[in-house]
Structure formats: C-alpha cells, structure tokens
Amino acid sequence: MPKRVLPLSDLKINKAKPQEKEYRLFDGNGLYVAVTPSGGKLWRIKYRFEGKAKELHLGAYPVITLAEARQKLLDAKRQIVNGVDPAAVKKALKQARFESVANSFEVVAREWHGRFIGQWTNGHAVTIMSRLERDVFPYLGNEPVEEIKAPMVLKLLRRVESRGALESAHRIRTVIGQVLRYAVATGRAERDCTGDLKGALPPATKNHLAALTDPKDVAPLLRAIDGFEGSFVVKCALRLAPLFFVRPGELRQAEWVEFDFEAAQWDIPAKRMKMKLAHIVPLSQQAIDILKDLKPLTGHSRYVFPSHRTPLRCMSNNAVNAALRRMGFEKDEMCAHGFRAMARTILDEVMGFKEKYIEHQLGHAVKDANGRAYNRTSHLPARRSMMQQWADYLDGLKAGAKVIPLRQAG
C-alpha cells in the first residue's frame, strides 16, 4: 500500500531547513515545495500532459502562500482536463507581457528616433525628443503601440492645447503619427490612428512673439532655466532675461563697461536702443549675483555674453531661443522676446505697478502730457523698487511659494 502524503502546513514549511542537496516537501496531487541549499522554498507542480512528465514552476514561498499554491494547482488541473498545457499557458503569458513592454510607445518611439536621428539637425533631434519626453511619454509611454487609439491621442493633444500651445499640439500629433507609422512598418501595430484626428484641433495661428504670461506657466520655465545643462554663458543669459526684460539684441550685445555694480545699474547707450534713447536697467540683487558669477569667465571679453567661437563677437541671436527649444519650450510657447511680454503682463495685471513705470522700463518712447519723451532717469527710484520686487516675485514663483499679488494684498 503506497505511503500516504500528509498535507503541508505553514509550520512545516517554515521549519524546513536547507540541506546540502535540494529536497522536496509534498502537499499532494503533484504540488510540492523544493527547498534549495541556499534556503529558498519554491512551489512546483508535477503533472503529465499527453503522456509526458512535466513540471510547472509557481514561484517562491511565502510570496506565494500555501492557499494560493493550492488554488494554482486546481487551475492547472482544470487546464489539463480541457486539453491545455499549463506550462504552455504560462510561457505564452510571459511572452505576451514581454512583447507588451518591448512594444510600448516609448520603446518604439526611442527606437524610431535613434533610427532617423542621422537625417535631422542636432537641434531638431533634441526638440523632437524633448517634445516626446515632456508631453507624450508621461501619458502614452507605457501603452502598447497596437492599443493606442484616437481618443487617447486627442486627450493628450487637448492637454497641450489647454496651456495655449496649439501649434505644439499639432506638431506632437505629427510626431505621434510618425512613430505609429514606424510601428506599422515594423509589424508592431495595425494602423496609425492619428489620421482620424484630422480637424479635431483648431488650426494653429502663427505667433512670432510667443510668451508665457500666466504665473503658473512661468514657474516651470524658471525652474527649467535653473536646471539648464548647456553653456554656462547661455544659462546666465537665460537667468538674466526675465530679470532685465530688455530686447534680445540689447541683452546679447551687453558690454561689461556698461555695468556699475556700486550704483546697481546697467546703462545701455542710445545707439543700441530701438528708440535711440539711452536706457537704464536697475540691477536687482539677484541680477548682480548672476553677473558676478559670470564675470570671472567672460570678464576678459568686451561682451558679457561672448560667442563660444570668439570673444570678439557677442553670442548669436539664436542662442537663447535654441536653449528654450532644448529645454522643450516650443517657439509658439516661449521665445527670447517673450520675457518682455511676460514682465509687462505680470507687473501690470498681477503685481499692480503703474503702467508708466513698466513702459519706461521696457524702453518704450513714453511721452509726458506736454509731448516730451521721458529721459533715462525718469521715475528711477520707483523703477529700482519695481525691479527688485519683480526679482523677488520670480524667486517666489520658482520656489513654488504662493505669491500674493500686490493688488490682492492691498
């Protein structure tokens, strides 16, 4: 008479000690725990399928409990009765999970990007990947490409559109379509669903002076500038652009002789101003700190922001815009000139400064009641105060603090 196998218990499994060789603790009906020399306790099922002895591995104890192992045994028995091999089912599921991960949108998109990167300029390649990493991967990255449907893409595009970046939404749709068509060509998807979205977004209107003017959008921009990993000279220009809000040409052509740290001001000569009127930019403490950090590097040059090719020229007129694109901000969202609109809007509508102070600080040809243009020192004390408060306000936005507008505080 065969020896009767006593069912296992948690106590018996826990008391099992490793030996020099692997041994088994049987629970019955082919279910057992293999105790390994290293102390592992692994659930396995012995069974026969189509006349062949087979074994199914379930996992480790106690991750797989005794009750769960017995349930898996029952499931396997049902599969066998129905003519299905449990080991084949497990292998198929594992392969399906592997293929799902291998064919996720992010994996396919990065493969596509690497395949075609040689056909693009470096700037275009960086822009495409920034666009994907910022606006697409967080929402579609883990989705298998064959399961991506038009409503999912439209939801993502409307999220981009809602922040005022309609042109970016259209471009992102194009990129997603390119990735999905590559997936079709490589046998990982049936079709590109973005064609179904024709007309789902309003047509984009070209904006030559794009700017972020909502404080909640400005905060991520400021944090992105602080995290910029490109040239230190360009990074300083990016950090000073919102503090100064001068025209891009006035910023990049700045010369060290024009800065007076003791007087805390930057004197821009009339010949470099659009209105051909000399201009004063009061320096906040934050601006002075940035300039002092930069001076050991470029102080030997005529220019505060010299070209990386030669200190005899200032940096190119595209340096700041290229940096913004590199950080993932599209040209319909933010450009170098946009820091002026940013300051103009927030200083007026949020912080409540007088329009004449703002307009004069922008270097506009403001005239008094008698038709005379204000001179370079008009309202200078008020402008100094405004520029320091502006710098402090930007620091608060960047830090994530809830900055109370002056109009509300009043």
The answer to whether residue 198 is catalytic is: no
Structural tokens at position 27: 């629970």
Beta bridge partners of 280: 267
Q: Which of 188, 325, 331, 337 is catalytic?
A: 337
Catalytic residue among 163, 302, 364, 398: 364
Question: Is 364 one of the annotated active-site residues of the chain?
Answer: yes
- Residue 340 designated active-site: yes
**Residue 201 DSSP SS3:** coil
Task: Give the active site residue among 340, 344, 360, 383.
Answer: 340
Does 337 participate in catalysis according to the annotation? Answer: yes
H or E segment to which residue 296 belongs: helix 285-298
Q: Could you give the CA distance from residue 319 to residue 252 in angstroms, rounded to a whole number?
A: 9
Identify the active-site residue in 113, 188, 247, 252.
Answer: 247
Whether 374 is catalytic is: yes
300 catalytic, yes or no? Answer: no
**How many residues are recorded in the chain?**
410
- How many Cβ atoms are within 10 Å of 312's Cβ, its own excluded? 10
Q: Which of 374, 376, 384, 398 is catalytic?
A: 374
Please tell me which residue in 124, 149, 158, 274 is annotated as part of the active site. 274
- Within 10 angstroms of residue 278's Cβ, the number of other Cβ atoms is 16
Q: 86 with 80: CB under 8 angstroms?
A: yes
Q: Strand, coil or helix: what is 302? A: coil
Output the six-digit token pair for 349.
């509508």
Phi, psi (rounded to 5 degrees) for 351: -90, -15
Catalytic residues: 247, 274, 337, 340, 364, 374
